[in-house]
Chain A
Amino acid sequence: MSDDAKKPEGAENDAAVSRRQAFVTLGVGSICAACAGAAMFGYEFLAPNVLYEPSPVVNAGKPDGYPAGSVTQDQQSAVYIVHGPEGIYAMSAVCTHLGCLTAWKPELGIIACPCHGSKFTRAGVKIEGPAPHPLPWLRAWINEDGDLLIDRSEPLGQKQFVRT
């Protein structure tokens, strides 16, 4: 006590203010930390870990079912199976613009999107409309049973054909 009394008055006030400041900083800091933690856990909570969605890999049946020069649209899985001169390839039927389901127009020989009027060739290349990218090609392969399998989860970077 006596030491304190000897100190000039201002010094004690400074010490008091800085102590208060320290507590304020501690309090605000811990609130910030709690908010950051809550945001992180909130994000983790909101992003579901288990999804009850259909499997990305679909079985398209025997490749014989797709005669040369044909374009087949699988409505259920939203893919096209095209048998071109170089072989069979699979393409997503979901428009790259806003996710509408495109449709194959056999009389025009093109793929058209009903929502905003994008049109694509049978190779997925955009002819006209607002779609920013061509229709993505999907990985396709033949399993040991001889069935054509298509993986819808990842778009392929390059062209890939299945030869029969």
Chain B
Amino acid sequence: MNRWTYIRNKAIWSLFTIIFVVVLNFFLFRVLPGDPARQGIRDPRLTPEAIEAIRIRFGLDKPVINCIQTINPFRAGSCEINPLDTQFFIYVKNLLRGELGISFYYNRPVSEILGERLWNTILLIGGGQILSIIVGVVFGILSAWKARTPLDYGVLVTGLVAWSLPTFWLGIILLFWGSTHGFPIGGKATPGMSSYPFFAQLTDMLWHLLLPTLTYTIVFMGEYMLIMRSSLLDVLSEDYILTAKAKGLSTFQILKDHALKNGMLPLVTIIAINLGFTVGGVIQIESVFSWPGLGGALFEAVSRRDFPMLQGGFLLIAISVILANFLADLMYSYLDPRVQTE
């Protein structure tokens, strides 16, 4: 099996997974009726006619899917119905056009709202991932290299505790520590900054980004430290490290040229698989720090029962994670020559 076959198989599998998620995502939200007209607070001004008008507006008056009778007894479709006029078909059609429906809450296209927020989340995840990977890898390496020294135990305990921290809890603690130490108390920018020069806006945003990123870094570095440490410990007990040592290479050369790449391999997989979990963390961080990103959008959508937003957000996240996994597989195939013979 050569690398291309491997990549092709992975690509097919990713595509299959995406299709699965798309279908799952649709039915998940149809099995239980979610209606924009039914809000948490009852408003006596809402007449049944108004509710029906909303249903039409959001396409909820159409049958869910052709021929399947069991999905929702109130909105079942028989086979006589034009399959193109079902919610499912419209959903798929809209998806292909990059549309994710209209938010019940914002009354705006979900794709537009999520699009604005995607970058904020990428900023947070990007910065946080890079920092936590750097910290995790550096301390993981130090810890594995200096195994069974106080440094190692220090890293181990720090890693384990960081791993056990509930993300939102750490966020709250940091937020309140920060609020009394001159940090902004949430949000992405100081309102009114838009008239200032770009550089001032940038620093203002970075300043707002600092604590969320720190939370992210602390929560994830623990895991990376532990994985790096454990994977490197495995590598360092391999025979080829002894060979490298016998070759007269210095410790630094051995770590750099022989241990690191091999030790990083499990991390690549874990980082990719982790993205799913990362998103969970991002939901918490963004809602604690009022950071206007995807996770926050998802959290708001949950508390507002904004189903199109929830649906769109989940789909976007799931597809991103699947694609990230695919990228990780590609990267792995370049990093590890053995992949081709698997």
Q: Do A and B belong to a common assembly?
A: no
